[in-house]
Structure 1
Amino acid sequence: MAHTDRLQELIAEKLKPHVKRIDTEAYYASDFLKSLGQNGFLDSSEGIPYSREVMMVEEIAKVCMTTAFNFWCHLAAMTYIRQSTNLHLKEHLLPQFENGSILGATGLSNPMKYYAGLEKLHLRAKKVDGGYIISGKLPSVSNLGDDHWFGIVAEVDDTRRIMAIVPCRTEGLSLKGKAEYLGVNGSATFACSFEEVWIPDNWIVAEDADVFIPIIRPAFVLYQIPLGFGVTRGSIDSILQVCNKQMGCNSYLPIQSEELEEQLVTLKESVYDIAKAGPSVGDWEELLKLRLDATYLAAKATHGTMLHQGGAGYLMSSGPSRRLRESYFLLNLTPTVKHLEKLLHSN
């Protein structure tokens, strides 16, 4: 069976029945996320399947961007290990990430802002025999759970930072759940406090994070872009559902499905070209622009859908209102639109 067919089956069986619970009750769709690896979608033994993984984010986001965001977190964590030179991580941990045994998270919101000159690093690292001691706090890390791992960057001194991947059940690491957001509360988001957490050398992704971050950033951003594609596609479908209601008066609205479709097709062509070739450091600026354009398009599409749907869309439980809230999360997902605008205008 083709990957796309099997993916649609999994979405129908394990995700669609739970979308309202995810949105209103902060339900976390871990079984669905693990099923993606269990069905062989993430195997990189014959090369990293960028195009397939980008397509998966898009297809999941059409139905539930919260869960697609969780999947992006997992893809980001895998990217760190896939690009690492640490053979222990590649041989022992990566297969479990790819087969669905373990779920991963990114933990790099603060570091990405640090490298853009927006924040100071929140974590500190002290070198000890066989590893490092980590202290500090991360305000928000998503896609976490008892058997999950997530990436971190910590400062050793003014001249060096390290990157590691850490299991949630590590001694000295405490997690506090966060579910008071406008939307995306089913994302398993926690504040993480490190109180002298020992990180062995086997968990070190890169001894020099300053060199490593530019290597992993292109895939980090590439995998985010289809979040916007899925939300935009879902919004277009919602517009088409009501185009003939109330004597066709929606045709007078300023945002129409044809315009959104045209912009979506153009953006997708560029993104899938990069995915097919494999994202590289040289694609960085183009990926930033594509990420920004896809995010603004999703915001435009969700706003347009609310206008087309009218009162039906104004219900808290409606698909259009959920996608509207999801689009606001996408505007504020690191790199945020402010972050992206700064990077693009300072280059």
Structure 2
Amino acid sequence: MDKKIENVVFNQIINDHLKPNIRQIDEKSYYPKEFLNAVGKAGFFSSNFLQMEDVRCGELYIIEETAKFCMTSAFTLWCHLAALASFRLSNNPYINNHLLPFFESGDVLTGTGLSNAIKYYAGMERIRLKAEKTDGGYMISGSLPNVSNLDHDHWFVILASLNEKQRIICSLPVNVEGLILESKTNYIGLNGSATYACFFDNVFIPDKWIISEEADEFIPKVRPILALYQIPLGIGVSQAAIESIVKSHLKNKEVNQHFKTQHTELIKKLQIVRTRTYEYARYVDLNTIGKEILLTRLDIAKLTPEVVHAEMLYSGGQAYIQGNDTFRRLRESYFLLNLSPTIMLLETLC
């Protein structure tokens, strides 16, 4: 499909399946499952016959475009794409030939429970899940406090420790026996992200669901992709905020010209981050630029709050009205600071 046609198709999906539900997503914990299904059915999750660099650029774009309207929905999109990145790196034939096609079709959606893994390999957290080898697979026990983009028919990705020397990466469906989910909806934002605490009571994971039995080697391969795909969350929110600032500036130039932060400066900063992000997506081996990706992820984590705070000032009193998009973007921006890798972790690593 031609790139311009793809953009038109995606914009239509946003108009039909996302825009009408944004208030419900933000205020009523409405999970945008229909939107995600529609994105998949239109082919935006497919990697068939494509260079991986083109896949990455396309997936960055749909996260960015979604985040312009709703970062909660963009985050659920990131969760699915983060899981897809893990599945695509697997050497397990069952995953490659049977599971991945379902996930790329959008008929079956996925989440990722790898936050614990990212923090563990950064030396910030112990591994929360334990694995025990058994006939035909592994038994998993433990708990994860927050896993997003889950529903009754979804799958997700986890890391578990077999012993001090070996850790494994697994996939599993939400409806597996021994898994208990507890809904989490008391956040200031992102309540529509279908986030759950997950409790594992001897959950059996057959060998065919194992993504990798060598997590120590696998995580460094997938980690740059996860971080790269988080950057357009901030880009999209920032673009929407800047558009709002420009409109406010034009309405009252005499007053707004005295603000220290001007939209022209913010546009330049954001364009630098965006250009760099899409350039990184073109690298064949992202591990060679892992540090640069983390630095850019840190840049957007700092820039997005700056932009949305400026938008609050430019918008004035209307930003304090319930349901206002400006205040929603302010709340969304704080999630970007705490999404693993958090801004504290990024500053430590960089």
- Residues 16-95 of structure 1 correspond to what in structure 2 (within 5 A)? 16-47=19-50, 48=52, 49-95=55-101
1:32-63 Cα shifts (integer Å, max 9, x gaps) = 00111100112111233110100110000000
Identity, % of aligned positions: 45
3-state SS in 2 of match to 1:20: helix
Offset at residue 314 of structure 1 (A): 1.5
- Aligned 8 A contact 1:222 1:279 in 2: no
- Residues 122-161 of structure 1 correspond to what in structure 2 (within 5 A)? 122-161=128-167
The one of 6, 10, 23 equivalent to 1:3 is 6
Offset at residue 276 of structure 1 (A): 2.4
Question: Is 1:14 paired with 2:17?
Answer: yes
State the distance in 1 between where 2:172 and 2:31 align.
Answer: 21
- Residues 1-347 of structure 1 correspond to what in structure 2 (within 5 A)? 2-47=5-50, 48=52, 49-246=55-252, 248-278=254-284, 280-344=286-350
State the distance in 2 between where 1:92 and 1:80 align.
Answer: 15
- Aligned 8 A contact 1:218 1:279 in 2: no
Offset at residue 250 of structure 1 (A): 1.4
Change (3 A) 1:41 1:147: same
State the distance in 1 between where 2:137 and 2:97 align.
Answer: 19
Q: For residue 250 of structure 2, what is the amino acid of its counterpart?
A: N
1:199-231 Cα shifts (integer Å, max 9, x gaps) = 000000000100100011111111110001001
1:289-331 Cα shifts (integer Å, max 9, x gaps) = 0001011111100000000001111123111100000000011
State the distance in 1 between where 2:114 and 2:68 align.
Answer: 25
State the distance in 1 between where 2:242 and 2:222 align.
Answer: 32
List 4+ stretches of structure 1 deviating above 3 A.
244-247
State the distance in 1 between where 2:39 and 2:194 align.
Answer: 18
State the distance in 2 between where 1:225 and 1:300 align.
Answer: 15
State the distance in 1 between where 2:301 and 2:147 align.
Answer: 21
TM-score between both structures, scaled by the size of structure 2: 0.97
Q: For residue 138 of structure 1, what is the amino acid of its counterpart?
A: L
Query: Structure 2 unaligned runs (5+)?
Result: none
Offset at residue 155 of structure 1 (A): 0.4
Offset at residue 265 of structure 1 (A): 0.8
